[in-house]
Amino acid sequence: MNPFLLSAPALALFGVMLVVPLIMTFILSFHSFGFYTGIEFTFGLHNYIDVLTDDYFYEIFGRTFAIALAVTVICVIIGTPMAFFLQRMRAWTRSIMVLIVLGPLLVSVVVRTLGWMILLGNNGVINSALMDMGLLTSPFRMMYTSGGIVVALAHVMVPFMVLAVWAALQRQDPATIAAAESLGARRSTIFRRVVLPQAMPGILSGSLIVFSLSASSFATPSLIGGRRVKVVATTVYDEFLNTLNWPLGAAIAIILLVAVLVIMVTWNRVVERQFAGVFQ
């Protein structure tokens, strides 16, 4: 049967419900907005100029990508070893650990962020515990900070990293480890020269997923960052649902979309060049 006929229903849905809305948002971003007149159907680059000439927006974009980068680094540092250990566990411990590591992915981000709010607040679990132990005299502020957002986002994102690395590890032929051992390699050498390089594609693709999801995350920065620590997604939300300046919000969103796509494409290019011939 014709593949396009089989795909036609889904294709129609995507055409109407994805392609058209995205194009409309793109067009919207060129319109202007009046406080009393609402959306004016003019056509110009003024929204983009407004965003690109205002330090306020640079700060927001800068913060967003800095947070995403920090989350990615943390996920690499803690997610990669977890995937290695997972790979080497015995079957039943592994199945329990899989539930613990991957299960939270199925719990709503709102609920998980609520948990972090309870942990990170000035009167929260962590501060109370540290003060009870006498390690802190006054609470260490973690709510409404970028640091707090990073920690909570790392929790949300790290399962993706573990999954990506673990998938790469499962594609490895375990005999390569035995081969390295028979050639005289020590455990640390085997890890550094045989296991880690083979896991590298997983680490790189996991990093890309974590980075792009973090850069466009909304719920966690919104609840932990509050009104003060804004990121791109929360700014777009405010423009749409509070200020009602939809064209400006659309322009910010389009810039985010383009930035994320550019980073993805560049990253994939670099990775492909790096591993040409190795992992097809």
Minimum distance between the CB of residue 137 and another protein, rounded to whole angstroms?
Answer: 21
**Interface with another protein (CB under 8 A), residue from 66, 77, 78, 270:** 78
> Residues 6 or more apart from 117 whose CB is under 8 A from it?
124, 143, 223, 224
**Interface with another protein (CB under 8 A), residue from 194, 204, 210, 229:** 194
Q: Among residue numbers 1 through 30, which ones bind another protein (CB under 8 A)?
A: 1, 3-4, 6-7, 9-11, 13-14, 17-18, 20-22, 24-25, 28
**Interface with another protein (CB under 8 A), residue from 45, 66, 270, 278:** 278
Nearest CA-CA partner of 246 in 13, 35, 89? 35
Residue 265 is inside which H or E element, if any?
helix 246-274
**Interface with another protein (CB under 8 A), residue from 49, 52, 89, 270:** 89
Minimum distance between the CB of residue 51 and another protein, rounded to whole angstroms?
Answer: 15
Q: What is the DSSP letter of 84?
A: H
Nearest CA-CA partner of 205 in 152, 257, 151, 279? 279
**Interface with another protein (CB under 8 A), residue from 142, 157, 200, 210:** 200
Please tell me the count of residues contacting another protein according to CB under 8 A. 108
Minimum distance between the CB of residue 120 and another protein, rounded to whole angstroms?
Answer: 9
Q: Among residue numbers 233 through 272, which ones bind another protein (CB under 8 A)?
A: 233, 236-237, 240-241, 246, 249-250, 253-254, 256-257, 260-261, 264
What backbone phi and psi angles, to 5 degrees, belong to 173? -80, 115
Q: Which is nearer to another protein, 97 or 271 (CB)?
A: 97
d(CA 260, CA 30): 20
Instruction: Write down the residue that tokens 């995350």 correspond to.
Output: 217
Find the part of the chain contacting another protein (CB under 8 A) among 40-48, 54-62, 134-142, 209-217: 209-217
**Interface with another protein (CB under 8 A), residue from 34, 36, 37, 88:** 88
Instruction: Write down the residue that tokens 């990669």 correspond to.
Output: 80
Q: Which is nearer to another protein, 71 or 158 (CB)?
A: 158
Position 161 contacts another protein (CB under 8 A): no
35 to 45, 90, 109, 243: CA distances (angstroms): 19, 63, 34, 9
Rounded-to-5 percentages of helix, strand, coil across the chain: 75, 0, 20
- The answer to whether 168 and 199 are in contact (CB under 8 A) is yes
Q: What is the DSSP letter of 29?
A: T
Minimum distance between the CB of residue 49 and another protein, rounded to whole angstroms?
Answer: 20
Q: Which is nearer to another protein, 45 or 78 (CB)?
A: 78
Q: Among residue numbers 100 through 129, which ones bind another protein (CB under 8 A)?
A: 100-119, 124-125, 128
